Copies of this chain bind each other. A is one copy, B any other.
């Protein structure tokens, strides 16, 4: 988890980070790959995966595991919650959820908390509409 080696700033790594920072869609590695490729056609998917892992270990991006087996990525490090649609899988930021107090965890059970994650699971408006078109 902790990276001991000094990392370099390559064009590939910079583009991966820039691309992720430029979106709020919590994309997959594949999506990032396709978008970086528009600016650097020679980049490979493996490099995108490797760089996402490096950036995650450096604390610059966050890996989201929500539903399904595909990881999603987020460069927004500010405390915020997510809404996940069970049907279409879309992930939306939810502002205004107050951070929880976790000091008790250290005192009670000895766990050291680095960050928290709050997800709401349900149905997004457009999926709701499609499910009950007559109601």
Contacts and interface: CB of A to CB of B under 8 A. Distances in A.
Contacts of A110: 124-125, 128
Interface string A34-68: 00000000000000000000000000000101111
Nearest to A116: B120
- The quantity of this chain's copies bound in the complex is 2
Contacts of A68: 65
Contacts of A117: 117-121
Interface string A63-78: 1011111010000000
Given A65-B66, A86-B1, A100-B97, A114 B123 contact: yes
Interface class of chain A by DSSP: mixed
A109 B14 CA distance: 34
Contacts of A114: 86, 121-123
A22 interface: no
A105 B120 contact: yes
B105 A125 contact: no
